[in-house]
Amino acid sequence: MEKISYAFADGFVIAKRNVIKIKRVPEVLVSVLISPIIFVLLFAYVFGSSINIPGGSYREFLISGIFAMTLIFGAVLTGAGLADDMQKGIIDRFRSLPMSRSAVVFGRTASDVIYNVISLIIMTLTGLIVGWRIHNGIGKALLGFGLLLLFAYAFSWIMAYVGLMVPSVEVINNVSFMVIFPLTFIANTFVPSDNLPTPLRIFAEWNPVSAITQAARELFGNIPPGTPDPTVWPLQNAVSYTLIWVVIIIAIFAPLAVRKYKQANTKS
């Protein structure tokens, strides 16, 4: 129990270090503050004028998808941060300190929750400006925000593992884009999955990104009246399906990332 408390304490110190870094690295500040605004405005005004959602507003349909996509892309900061620390030899400095070996990875993923909260606040305010509204009350809305952050936190463990495997920040940026881009676009994030060709529709219906987007829309009250109920289990039970994926991802990639970090340490 004492070792666990030390690990949490060390992880908190690492998380604080990563949060302080946001004031000193302009690129991170742009990613956290500016990118969410651009995504909301770009998709709302470009796609909003060409896509019709029967019985509802496309901007309200869109925002949950933007939330999901931006937070998932934000998880790349986890992998990029660890890859950067490895490349610059900062990990070697951590090795010389009397700290938990898992603290660096836990602190990195924890600090990115703070980044995601900031992004989510910025996107929410921008969404309200372009016409997005919450219709199910503040309680369910908070559940929706919490579920989005939880899914993004789980995804950050995948990026942590990848970040410890690649040789540089540039590699993880390229790899992440090739994986996350189709994962977030072959989903119901921007258009209803019913409109996709059959192979893509089946993938989208079982895609966890579709589930977290559907769950957020339901909790925010952004499902247009008269919309047909989903016909597949993941979208019929979007909250449960999302939580299942959260548990699976963390259970697999948290131990893998910690073990990879320890192996990287011993090789340094």
Residue 139 and residue 147 in contact, taking contact as beta carbons nearer than 8 Å: no
pLDDT per residue, tens digit, the chain (268 aa), is: 435 565 566 666 667 666 666 666 666 667 677 888 888 888 888 777 667 777 777 888 889 999 999 999 888 888 888 888 777 776 667 666 666 767 778 888 888 888 889 889 999 999 999 889 999 999 999 999 999 999 999 999 999 998 888 877 778 878 888 888 899 999 999 888 887 899 999 999 999 999 999 999 999 999 888 778 888 999 999 999 999 999 999 999 999 998 888 776 544 4
Nearest to 9 by CA among 96, 91, 93, 103: 103
Distance CA 11, CA 24 (A): 21
Any idea what the Cα angle at residue 112 is, between residues 116 and 256, rounded to 5°? 130
Distance CA 67, CA 189 (A): 9
DSSP 229: P
